[in-house]
């Protein structure tokens, strides 16, 4: 026992102290989030008990990883290590590798390199300190080791506290712990850091975190002295280290982040998790192999089901090959080569419009426009991220699990509306108000038959206002008008996809445009300013010679909010769409259910185009009644809605069926319907198969 006490408890007492601090901060974070969410989420006593019991388990899982650097430091640091040449060789290789990542081209150019450069600086500083220790005596090295650990410990406590505040703001924005969105945004540190700086009181958060970190550090500092001074043989240190390092190994191989899902209440399941642990789980699962993680049926059966579902009066399959979904689309009459302007509006929930019950008057332009358009009142987005919306509005394919195709490697030369219209003689372009490197948008669109135009095309004097996400929407639309004038002069019809940015935190915009001050930084202001900018754009466009030969499509990329008490609340996907062309379209309200994947084929139907397609979407204006179906998703939850029932697929190979309430977002579990479940599986499985086997390429298009 004396042996264990010496080698384990004394030498590694610092590790246990750090673990206690991390668990206390995690507990306090969870408690605050429960109190903050309690009134709105209606948590029961059972849910609250499960939140804290299971939450403690996941906190311990997180701590097992968190202590690894300190365990390794105590295990391998001794007087001998400073005399070993191997330490310097290994450190030198490590620094060279970090420098390569931070300053050269080991990572893609579109990725921001701020974090690697910070890491490089810290490691280089540590290397220089250790190099200094090599030339000084033992007493000097002990003092320096103590102060280095002091600094490390204080920084880690501060970061834990800062992270606790960050988790609150993430919860406030997305209604969940860290997830796939947080992983996505970490890559683009320039935009995200700027957004945080513009949207939140970062200075005050930092000051408060520093104030709280001081007493916590003071409490835990003493074990550092004993850890540094106490001399313990390497073998005894090894026993303690192996025992401690065994825990993260067991967690890695034996714990699934889904273990937190103990309740039918989505909020309770999220609160039971640990934010940092959930971040790591999302990072590791950013691409999910459908065949590995989801329930499947034989591929042949899946394709047979989808071929039956895609049958339509105006469509004929080009082949009897069951694995080929390619169809010829033919409408009676001549093709209409109208210009098409597709405006995908950032975070435009249907609930913002007066037609859906909003009384705030924040979309007066769209409310007026709805009466002059084909107004789609029952349209549902496929996902909760801009890249998912862009994927759907360009490829018309069900959302595959994990990363959006916009962000995935190997996303070149897919069958897109850009490729199809280009084969029809159109000029095709994607215009974005920010830097197109964000979310890999520039690479994706430029490699899928679009010309990419972003804020860099604007001169400084052409920008009235800009924040970290991009220029004000009115400047984006001015740029778009300029480009469309140029396209018109070339004599070819144009397809222009415009992606707005202003309806995004921090919700700032030029002053004097609307009656909500940008200083308030509220969502309603962002919505109303974007609405103003769209109205101004259409008024300006109406004086152009190409206006009467142009179709304007206004649709959201996703909703502003997608959280709810169930995994896939249908109300979190309800978005509006307006198709406006006063010279060519008779206004009507279209109230049948429409999926976002149907937008592209519906546009092509209005153009009366004859084309060869691989799209999964349907032209809903020509679709027989009863054929409606919807697709909604998170990065791992795949939803399929038909005939008032919702099938949800989740890893590992879980399938559930619900009756969703389209007004409240709630859902009631119901027994599985075999035919409906097979349809749901078939759509997602065939999409995954085509992408995996590179069969969703651009070789279709104009009919031969």
Inter-helix orientation angle 222-229/13-41, to 10°: 150
**In this structure, what token pair is assigned to residue 126?**
């540590």
Average pLDDT along the chain: 84
Angle at 409 between CA 454 and CA 111, to 5 degrees: 50
Least confident of 146-155, 197-206, 309-318: 197-206
List Cβ neighbours of 254 (8 Å cut-off, separation of 6 or more).
none
**Coil, helix or strand for 233?**
coil
Place of tokens 């974005």: 432
Q: What does the alpha-carbon distance between residue 41 and residue 535 come to, in Å, rounded to a whole number?
A: 37
Q: Tokens representing 570?
A: 């249908």
Assess contact for 658 and 649: CB atoms under 8 A. Answer: no
Question: How much of the chain, in percent, has pLDDT values that exceed 70?
Answer: 81
The gap between the terminal CA atoms of the chain, to the nearest Å, is: 83
Q: Is the pLDDT of residue 495 over 80?
A: yes
Predicted local confidence at residue 141, as pLDDT: 53
79-122 residue pLDDT tens? 454 455 555 565 666 566 556 655 554 444 444 455 556 665 66
**Rounded Cα–Cα distance for residues 144 and 450 (Å):** 57
Q: How would you label 492-511 residue by residue, b for 16+ Cβ within 10 Å and e otherwise?
A: ebbbbbbbbbbbbbbbbbbe
More confident residue, 558 or 11: 558
Token reading at 353? 């419009």
Q: Which two tokens stand for residue 161?
A: 């506290």
- What is the rounded distance in angstroms from the CA atom of residue 394 to the CA atom of residue 371? 27
| Exposed / middle / buried, residue 198 (Cβ in 10 Å: 0-12, 13-18, 19+) | middle
DSSP 488-501: HHHTS-EEEEEE--
More confident residue, 230 or 442: 442
Helices (H) and strands (E) counted in the chain, each on its own, are 24, 20
Distance CA 51, CA 57 (A): 10
CA dihedral 441→442→443→446, nearest 10 degrees, is 120
Helix (H, G, I), strand (E, B) or coil at 451: strand
Question: In terms of residues, how long is the chain?
Answer: 704
The tokens of 87 are what?
A: 């330490």
Q: Three-state DSSP class for 78?
A: coil
pLDDT digits (tens, 9 = 90+) for 613-636: 999 999 999 998 889 999 999 888
The model's pTM is: 0.76
pLDDT in tens, 361-417: 999 999 999 999 999 999 999 998 899 999 999 999 999 988 889 988 889 999 999
Contacts for 314-321: CB closer than 8 Å, 24+ residues apart = 314/605, 314/619, 314/622, 318/612
Whether pLDDT at 590 is above 90:
yes
Q: How far is CA 610 from the centre of its chain?
A: 35
Q: What pLDDT does 481 receive? A: 97
According to the model, what pLDDT value does residue 665 have? 87
Radius of gyration from C-alpha coordinates of the chain: 28
- For the record, the structure tokens of 348 come out as 């435009």
The residues facing 646 across adjacent strands are: 641, 658
Highest mean pLDDT among 40-44, 91-95, 167-171: 167-171
Q: If you average pLDDT over each of 39-48, 68-77, 92-101, 241-250, which comes out highest?
A: 241-250
For residue 440, what pLDDT band results from cuts at 50, 70 and 90? confident
Cα 106 to Cα 482: distance, rounded to the nearest angstrom:
38
Instruction: Give the tens place of pLDDT for each residue, 512-528.
Output: 899 999 888 899 999 99
Summarised one tens digit per residue, pLDDT across range 544-569 is: 999 999 999 999 999 987 666 667 88
Who's near 673: CB < 8 A, 6+ residues apart? 645, 647, 657
Task: Give the separation between CA 92 and CA 40, rounded to whole angstroms.
Answer: 54
SS (H, E, C) 574-637: EEEEEEECCCCCCCEEECCCEEHHHHHHHHHHHCCCCEEECCCCCCHHHCCCCCCCEEEECCCC
Three-state DSSP at 571 gives helix
Reply yes or no: is the peptide bond before residue 506 cis, omega within 30 of 0.
yes
CA-to-CA separations, 509 to 16, 349, 516, in angstroms, rounded: 49, 19, 10
Q: Which range, 171-185, 228-242, 276-290, 674-688, is most confident?
A: 674-688
Does the pLDDT at position 37 exceed 70? yes
* C-alpha to C-alpha distance for 83 and 80, rounded to whole angstroms: 5
- Whether pLDDT at 40 is above 60: no
Distances (CA, A) of 168 to 85, 118, 163, 469: 46, 25, 9, 22
- In terms of Cα–Cα distance, which of 570, 574, 588, 581 is closest to 664? 570
Count of CB atoms situated within 10 Å of the CB of 93: 10
Q: Percent of the chain at pLDDT above 90? A: 48
Max mean pLDDT range (187-191, 567-571, 657-661): 657-661
Query: Would you list the domain boundaries of the chain?
Result: 2-82+152-284, 292-316+341-702
DSSP states of 364-386: HHHHHHHTTSEEEEEEE-S-SSH
Q: What is the pLDDT, as a whole number, of residue 101?
A: 55
- Comparing C-alpha atoms, which of 73, 77, 9, 18 is closest to residue 243? 9
Could you count the other beta carbons within 10 Å of the beta carbon of residue 151? 11
**pLDDT in the model for residue 75:** 77
The structure tokens 């991220």 sit at 385
What pLDDT, on the 0 to 100 scale, is given for residue 36? Answer: 84
pLDDT given at position 157: 86
SS3 state of residue 407? helix
For 292-316+341-702, CATH gives 3.40.720.10
CB atoms within 10 A of CB 571: 20
| 3-state secondary structure (DSSP) of residue 211 | helix
DSSP 550: E
Determine contact, residues 407/387, Cβ cutoff 8 Å: yes
- Cite the beta strand spans of 20-179 per DSSP E: none
């Amino acid at each position: 026992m004396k042996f264990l006490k010496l080698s384990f408890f004394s030498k590694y007492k610092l590790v246990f102290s750090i673990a206690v601090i991390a668990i206390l901060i995690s507990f306090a974070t969870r408690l605050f989030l429960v109190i903050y969410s309690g009134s709105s989420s209606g948590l029961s006593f059972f849910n609250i008990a499960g939140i804290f019991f299971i939450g403690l388990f996941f906190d311990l899982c997180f701590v097992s990883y968190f202590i690894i650097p300190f365990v390794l430091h105590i295990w391998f640091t001794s007087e001998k290590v400073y005399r070993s040449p191997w330490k310097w060789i290994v450190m030198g290789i490590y620094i060279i590798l970090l420098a390569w990542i931070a300053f050269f081209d080991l990572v893609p150019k579109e990725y921001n390199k701020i974090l690697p450069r910070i890491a490089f600086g810290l490691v280089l500083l540590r290397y220089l300190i250790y190099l200094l220790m090599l030339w000084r005596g033992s007493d000097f090295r002990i003092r320096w080791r103590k102060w280095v650990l002091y600094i490390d410990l204080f920084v880690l406590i501060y970061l834990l506290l800062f992270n606790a505040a960050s988790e609150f703001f993430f919860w406030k924005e997305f209604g969940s712990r860290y997830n796939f969105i947080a992983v996505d945004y970490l890559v683009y540190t320039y935009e995200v850091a700027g957004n945080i700086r513009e949207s939140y009181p970062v200075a005050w958060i930092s000051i408060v975190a520093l104030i709280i970190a001081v007493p916590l550090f003071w409490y835990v500092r003493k074990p550092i002295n004993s850890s540094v001074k106490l001399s313990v043989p390497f073998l005894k240190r090894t026993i303690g280290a192996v025992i401690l390092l065994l825990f993260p190994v067991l967690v890695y191989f034996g714990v699934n982040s889904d273990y937190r899902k103990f309740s039918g209440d989505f909020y309770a399941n999220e609160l039971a998790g640990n934010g940092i642990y959930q971040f790591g789980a999302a990072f590791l699962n950013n691409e999910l192999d459908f065949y590995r993680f989801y329930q499947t049926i034989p591929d042949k059966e899946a394709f047979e089901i989808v071929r039956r579902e895609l049958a339509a009066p105006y469509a004929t399959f080009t082949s009897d090959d069951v694995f080929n979904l390619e169809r010829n689309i033919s409408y009676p009459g001549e093709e209409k080569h109208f210009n098409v302007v597709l405006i995908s509006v950032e975070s435009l929930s249907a609930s913002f419009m007066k037609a859906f019950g909003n009384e705030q008057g924040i979309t007066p332009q769209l409310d007026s426009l709805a009466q002059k358009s084909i107004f789609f009142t029952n349209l549902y987005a496929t996902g909760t991220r801009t890249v998912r919306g862009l994927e759907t509005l360009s490829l018309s394919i069900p959302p595959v699990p994990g990363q959006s195709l916009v962000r995935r490697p190997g996303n070149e030369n897919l069958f897109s509306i850009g490729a199809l219209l280009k084969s029809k003689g159109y000029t095709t372009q994607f215009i974005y108000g920010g830097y197109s490197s964000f979310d890999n948008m520039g690479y994706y669109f430029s490699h899928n038959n679009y010309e990419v135009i972003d804020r860099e095309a604007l001169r400084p004097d052409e920008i009235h206002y800009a924040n970290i996400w991009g220029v004000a929407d009115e400047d984006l639309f001015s740029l778009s008008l300029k480009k469309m004038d140029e396209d018109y002069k070339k004599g070819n019809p144009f397809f222009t996809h415009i992606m707005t940015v202003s309806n995004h935190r921090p919700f700032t915009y030029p002053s004097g445009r609307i009656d909500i001050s940008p200083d308030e930084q509220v969502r309603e202001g962002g919505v109303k300013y974007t609405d103003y900018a769209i109205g101004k754009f259409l008024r300006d466009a109406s004086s152009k010679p190409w206006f009467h030969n142009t179709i304007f499509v206004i649709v959201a990329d996703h909703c502003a909010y997608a959280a709810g008490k169930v995994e896939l609340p249908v109300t979190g996907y309800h978005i509006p769409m307006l198709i406006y062309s006063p010279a060519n379209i008779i206004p009507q309200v279209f109230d049948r259910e429409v999926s976002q994947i149907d937008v592209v084929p519906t546009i092509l139907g209005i153009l009366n185009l004859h084309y060869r397609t691989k799209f999964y979407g349907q032209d809903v204006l020509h679709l027989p009644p009863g054929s409606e179906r919807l697709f909604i998703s998170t990065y791992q939850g795949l939803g399929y809605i038909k005939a008032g029932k919702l099938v949800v697929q989740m890893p590992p190979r879980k399938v559930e069926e619900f009756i969703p309430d389209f007004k409240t977002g709630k859902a009631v579990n119901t027994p599985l319907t075999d035919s409906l479940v097979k349809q749901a599986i078939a759509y997602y499985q065939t999409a995954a198969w085509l992408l995996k086997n590179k069969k969703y390429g651009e070789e279709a298009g104009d009919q031969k």
